[in-house]
Amino acid sequence: MTNAAALLNELHMQGVSLAVTGPDRLRFEGPPEAVGASVLTALRECKREILTMLRKSGSTAKLLGRRCPLCRQHGMRIEETWVSELHYFDTFCATCEELVEVYIPAQADVNCGQVA
Ligand SMILES: [Zn+2]
């Protein structure tokens, strides 16, 4: 199972930041040893989710380095949750553990169109 949120958290902790640079492009910056073949494979597997999340915020540094509105500390943690067919990304403050934001990506795979 791919886990976009875990991957973003892990890369962030290793000093790697990702940014969207085009309609379908991810750019990463960080120590070369932190971006090995296994990371690239994982990135490819959940690229669409990561692109969707990053489009909203611009980059992992912005997404995870945000200041908490409650305790004013920097640092966020993202958790991915599946509830039946619904897919959430919850952003928690790394300091006070409060839920700061819930993000539900567009469900491209869910059949919600008209019945022909
Ligand atoms: Zn906080």
User: Where does the pLDDT of residue 95 fall: very low under 50, low under 70, confident under 90, or very high at 90 and above?
Assistant: very high
Residue 86 lies in a domain: yes
pTM of the model: 0.80
pLDDT attached to residue 115? 44
CA 111 to ligand 1 center in whole angstroms: 37
How many domains, in total, are found in the chain?
1
CA 17 to ligand 1 center in whole angstroms: 21
User: Where does the pLDDT of residue 107 fall: very low under 50, low under 70, confident under 90, or very high at 90 and above?
Assistant: low
Residue 109 lies in a domain: no
CA 68 to ligand 1 center in whole angstroms: 5
Summarize pLDDT for 61-80 with one digit per residue, the tens.
Answer: 999 999 999 999 999 999 99
CA 56 to ligand 1 center in whole angstroms: 21
Residue 40 lies in a domain: yes
Domain that holds residue 30: 4-103
Nearest alpha-carbon partner for 94 in 74, 108, 109: 74
Residue 115 lies in a domain: no
Residue 50 lies in a domain: yes
Residue 114 lies in a domain: no
Residue 110 lies in a domain: no
